[in-house]
Every structure is written in structure tokens, then in C-alpha cells.
Amino acid sequence: MNDYHKLVFFIGVLTLISLVQVSDASVVSTGDFNKDFFVIWSPSHVNTSADGHARSLKLDKESGAGFASNQLFLFGQIDMQIKLVTGHSAGTVVAYYLTSDQPNRDEVDFEFLGNVSGQPYILQTNVFADGFDNREERIYLWFDPTEDFHTYSILWNLHQIVFMVDWVPIRVYRNHADKGVAFPRWQPMSIKISLWNGDSWATRGGKDKIDWTKGPFIASFRNYKLDACIWRGNARFCRADSPTNWWNKERFSSLTSTQRRLFKWVRTHHLIYDYCQDNERFQNNLPKECFLPKY
């Protein structure tokens, strides 16, 4: 098998693993955007299907838009199928993230940075831990994310945060709190999704601006799954090793051998920026986790 066919095979294996996970999980999503989320910004730019199972956001000169989960969560897995803005999308940003919205906030970000026609999207990920960020990584995807829906997932537990694209792990942020590295582990977070004008920085550092004549710009969402611990005011419940908290089980404490192969494949062929390689930015004083194992 060539590398592409191997990737397809491994994705199939990971999909089966994910289906097994569901059997002992406590899924809290209804599948209806109207029931699990509320609009936080510009309702006139949010369009939801009659059955609530699909939603789109619009960006034009007037406004962008966004929505957020009704619940706060502490650990779990969030899956969202997304189809990104087609065509000339330079300057647009689709953000899909977890955030605690506190001064010393924790946050786990997917940010999809648009581009001029014919140039690929950039997927930027970032982690805020106890108010500290500057933890960006960027990759090119191995497919066109505007042609169809793809699944973007965040697995968050006591051991690690894993960013996944179609079940392929593209980034791991490990819990090294015992070594003095901040890790999101106490603050509950909500899910937020938005489409907005980021042309001051998003495409080539802000050199490529939004071309409003190409708008309106539309991003679409469907088939989400919220499989996470709902915040009830006590972190102990969500940190417990219980049948419903499957993500805290030992087998999810690190990447599997298959996941490691896929992770290395992404890092070798698709990584375009890693803060842990940016000595100039950090003046040769890279963050501590850059010298610690990722899995």
C-alpha cells in the first residue's frame, strides 16, 4: 500500500475504535443545534435547518456570526463536521473551540484561516492554559476542506488534549503539570463556533484582505457529537474514573501505536509552523513542554 491507501486504512480502523467508544459513553448531545446551542452573535447571519441538524454561518460587510453550547463541560470528546468557506476566502476565520471565558482562561482552539483562490486553507491550533497562550501550530490539510464535510474533534482528558481531523491526530498537548507546565484541568469550558473577519492577521499576516465582492461567505456545520462531562459545580465528578467518563480510562491516556504513526505522518508532511521550533519568537527560551514527550 502507498502512503495514501495506508492513511485510508488507518482512518477506517480509528473510526471503528470511535464507534466502540460510544457503547460505553454517555452522549449528551441531542443532534439539534437549536437545543444544544444558542446564538451569541448576529442571529440574522445564522441559518438552521428545519430539523435542527444542520447550521450555517454567514459573513458579509455587515457582520459575522457565532453560537455557543448551552452547557459547560470538563473533559470529554467533541466532534463537529464542518464544510469551510469556498472559493476566495482570504481574511475569513472559522473558529471552533472550547473556552472557559475566565481572566486566567483555558482554551482549546481550531482556527481555519482562509486563503486566496487556488491556495490551501491553513488550520491553526492553539492552547491557552491558565491564561497563557502563544502555543500555535499550523498545518496544511491533505484534502480540500471546502468540497465536503470533514470531522474535527477534540479529545480532552486528565492526560492529554488531542486534536483530530477525520480521526487522524494532528496535535497532542500532554498534561505535564507535575513538571510545571500549565494544563487545562480544573475550569469547565463551553463550545463556541464563529465566522468572522480576521483579515488584519489571518492570511499572510494580514497582507491579503477580504474581497467583499466574493461574499457572502458561508461555513456549514452538521452531525456534531458532545460526549463530555457536564459541569455540575464539582470537578471531582468529571475527574472520576467511572463508566460514563470513558475518556479518563487508561487506554485514552496516550496515543495508540496506530495513532502515533498517523501523528508522525502529519508532522512530517503537513506541519508548517510549530511554536516549539520558533527560537526567534521565544528568544531562545522555548516553553518547557517543548522538551517533554508529546505522548
3-state secondary structure 252-263: HCCCCHHHHHHH
Angle between helices 3-23 and 257-269 (to 10 degrees): 130
pLDDT confidence bin for 8, thresholds 50/70/90: low
Catalytic residue among 111, 136, 147, 280: 111
Instruction: Write down the pTM of the prediction.
Output: 0.91
Measure the CA dihedral 114/115/119/125, to 10°: -40
Mean pLDDT of the chain: 91
pLDDT tens-digit readout, 192-221: 999 999 999 999 999 999 999 999 999 999
pLDDT exceeds 90 at position 257: yes
* Active-site residue flag, 289: no
pLDDT confidence bin for 21, thresholds 50/70/90: very low
pLDDT exceeds 90 at position 11: no
Give the Cα separation of 151 and 136 in Å (integer). 21
Which residues is 48 bridged to in the sheet? 55
pLDDT tens-digit readout, 46-55: 999 999 999 9
3-state secondary structure of 293: coil
CB 237 within 8 A of CB 80: no
pLDDT tens-digit readout, 93-135: 999 999 998 889 999 999 999 999 989 999 999 999 998 888 9
Give the Cα separation of 33 and 294 in Å (integer). 34
Q: What are the residues whose beta carbons fall under 8 Å from the beta carbon of 39, sequence distance 6 or more?
A: 46, 65, 66, 67
* Active-site residue flag, 137: no
Higher pLDDT among residues 17 and 182, named by residue: 182
Q: Specify the DSSP class assigned to residue 135.
A: -
Give the Cα separation of 244 and 242 in Å (integer). 5
Give the Cα separation of 285 and 266 in Å (integer). 26
3-state secondary structure 78-131: EEEEEECCCCCCCCEEEEEEEECCCCCCCEEEEEEECCCCCCCCEEEEEEEECC
CB 52 within 8 A of CB 29: no
Measure the CA dihedral 52/58/62/65, to 10°: 60
- For residue 216, cis peptide bond before it (omega within 30 degrees of 0): yes
Q: What are the residues whose beta carbons fall under 8 Å from the beta carbon of 256, sequence distance 6 or more?
A: 17
Domains, the chain, in order of start with CATH, read: 37-289 (2.60.120.200)
Catalytic residue among 107, 136, 147, 250: 107
Give the Cα separation of 195 and 221 in Å (integer). 11
**φ and ψ at residue 249, rounded to 5 degrees:** -70, 155
3-state secondary structure 230-250: ECCCCHHHHHCCCCCCHHHCH
Sign of torsion, CA 29 73 106 276?
Answer: negative
Closest CA to 253 of 159, 153, 156: 159
